[in-house]
Amino acid sequence: MTTPDAPLPAGTLSRPLGNLEIFFKKLADLGAPLQHEHWAVHLALRLDFEVADPESHLRRAWQIVAHQHPAIRSTISPARKDDDARPSNDLYVVTPFDAESWMKETFRVERDHEDANALFTTLRPSAFTMCYWLPSSSELVIRSSHWRLDGIGVLGISSIFLRALAEVLQHGPDHAFPLSGGLRGLLATPTATSTTLAKPTPTPTPTPTPTPLPPNVELLATKKTKTDPQILDVGADALMAEFLKGVPSIGLPTTPHSEQALPGSSARAEVILNARQTTQVINSRRDHGFSFTGAVHAAIVRVTAAFPQHPLSKAYAAFFPVDLRKSITALTSLPHKELLFGLYFSGLPICLENAAAKGFQELAREMTTVYNRDLEDFWKAPSGESVSMLQLAEPYLTRTTALFTAPVPQDFPPTQTPDLSGLGKVEQHLQSEYQASPEAPKVKVTSMWLATEMLNRSVQFHVWSWKESLHIGASFNQSFYDKRFVEDVLNKVVRELLSGLGIDE
């Protein structure tokens, strides 16, 4: 991150931060004095590939990705209040690529940690997207601030990285990759198994024109909409009202006597259903008409509601993230490949009233109704006009930002509502193996997980399927939750899910 008075280098690409990016930056900044960063995204991959010197190959692949996709190098330049030529917002910037400086700042070999789980609890904020290699467990960890990437984005980056690694394994780390071709097409072909790079020519490879910076979601939303802003304000207010009627929400109990504790290190836990159980869950939830994530979310609510609650907490009220990429593509004709980097999601409100009195199936039906809302025909204006979720993004985000940054009312309990984010079928974004050509060495992904650093009193659940198995992960702050407690909650969620769907354990 540059300082407010530092001039930006010549050739720097920049734009003002969008409102959603500002929101996540503010959350990240709150943890800076404690050397932590709320909602920083981490993806861990356990890799299997045979090469005598893995580190040089990994470094080269990381360098290639950074060269070809400048947005991965994005940082924030603070606004200069005395400069009328600059917008008031902080700037999203990408400076000219310096390969040596990039590698020195962002690639780390971690030899003192047993595995990625152990590393996760120790990582500290960085202005850059970071890449960590753990030789002892053969794991790669990519870490980024959430203002730069969402979960789908970090999965996409990892796939790009592994394609580059497959090419480096074929040609060697010292190969003069023609960066203006070959790898530039990797992002455009997400389902391909390989993209062969051309052989180097005697003439110097020309430097490609940098990919434009990813646009922010509010700009995309307002660029095409013709709806009266006052009507959109009414729609945003209606959305907020759905959430607020359930506040204060039920929550999971935190560690005794932690009321005044400062946030410490984060940790994670995970439960994995075997292939047989996963198939049973998929078939049963389909027979019942439940959405996949909605069924898991209902199980989390059931487990949460079983704990003692504050007298004011009767409902489950939360926001769940929905991917807006399809909506953006339909509205703007932007191809999906241009929406990898950036925040292209919104949080839909959930309010399940009298949650403790409802059974699994009733909760799952309500959850499914919310999860299945049509994002294109999302809200009906008083005039009968159909308004999409994307059109509501800017006024809705303004309201949710104000809500999240407001103090908790004096008579309310601390917010400790468990949240859920669904990644779906990971193989839609990340393959289990990569190979540059039939004769080239393979890179296999034997396991993966995604987690976020947490500074508040909530447990962040993630659900995904990978290699025919259902995974439910939980990220939490160790100042407020004990890992054994979170593991017990995860096991209860699985039991609730299976019993609610009529499946024997």
Q: Over 50: is that where the pLDDT of 390 sits?
A: yes
* pLDDT (mean) for 142-156: 96
* pLDDT (mean) for 199-225: 60
Q: Over 60: is that where the pLDDT of 375 sits?
A: yes
Strands 345-352 and 379-380: unpaired
Cβ–Cβ < 8 Å for 333, 220: no
Residue-wise pLDDT tens digits, 282-311? 999 999 999 999 999 999 999 999 999 999
Same domain, 334 and 479: yes
pLDDT for 3 = 54
Q: Is residue 470 part of a domain?
A: yes
DSSP state, 249? B
Same domain, 59 and 131: yes
Q: Over 70: is that where the pLDDT of 80 sits?
A: no
Q: Is residue 207 part of a domain?
A: no
Give the DSSP H or E segment for 236: helix 229-244
Same domain, 159 and 92: yes
Cβ–Cβ < 8 Å for 302, 363: yes
Residue-wise pLDDT tens digits, 60-74? 999 999 998 999 999
pLDDT for 209 = 46
Domain end (from 142, 166, 185): 185
Q: Is residue 291 part of a domain?
A: yes
Give the pLDDT band of residue 187 (cuts 50, 70, 90): very low
Q: Is residue 90 part of a domain?
A: yes
Q: Is residue 191 part of a domain?
A: no
Q: Over 70: is that where the pLDDT of 258 sits?
A: yes
Domain end (from 161, 185, 209): 185
Cβ–Cβ < 8 Å for 151, 426: no
Q: What is the CATH classification number for the domain harbouring 359?
A: 3.30.559.30
Would you put residue 352 in left (φ > 0), alpha (ψ -120 to 50) or beta? beta
* pLDDT (mean) for 218-242: 87
* pLDDT (mean) for 172-183: 65
Residue type, 52: A
pLDDT for 265 = 98
Same domain, 363 and 225: yes
Same domain, 128 and 251: no
Q: Over 50: is that where the pLDDT of 487 sits?
A: yes
Q: Over 90: is that where the pLDDT of 36 sits?
A: yes
pLDDT for 195 = 33
Give the pLDDT band of residue 201 (cuts 50, 70, 90): very low
Mean pLDDT across the chain, nearest whole number?
A: 89
Q: Is residue 265 part of a domain?
A: yes
Residue 469's beta-bridge partner residues? 466
Same domain, 243 and 319: yes
> Domain of 354?
217-418+458-500
The Cα 301–Cα 419 span in angstroms is 10
The Cα 472–Cα 492 span in angstroms is 12
Q: Over 80: is that where the pLDDT of 59 sits?
A: yes
Same domain, 287 and 377: yes
- Count of structural domains within the chain: 2
Q: Which are the contacts of 402, defined by CB distance < 8 A and separation ≥ 6?
A: none
Same domain, 246 and 394: yes
C-alpha triplet 461, 248, 239: angle, nearest 5°: 80
Residue 476's beta-bridge partner residues? 267
Q: What is the CATH classification number for the domain harbouring 166?
A: 3.30.559.10
Same domain, 281 and 387: yes
Same domain, 152 and 241: no
* Of the listed ranges 7-21, 194-208, 290-304, the one predicted with least confidence: 194-208
pLDDT for 336 = 81
Q: Whats the size of the chain, residue-wise?
A: 505
Same domain, 368 and 295: yes
Phi, psi for residue 44 in degrees, rounded to 5: -115, 130
Q: Over 70: is that where the pLDDT of 354 sits?
A: yes
Q: Is residue 428 part of a domain?
A: no
Q: Is residue 203 part of a domain?
A: no
Residue-wise pLDDT tens digits, 406-429? 888 989 998 899 999 999 999 999
Bond from prior residue into 9 cis (ω within 30 degrees of 0)? no
* pLDDT (mean) for 442-471: 98
Same domain, 166 and 248: no
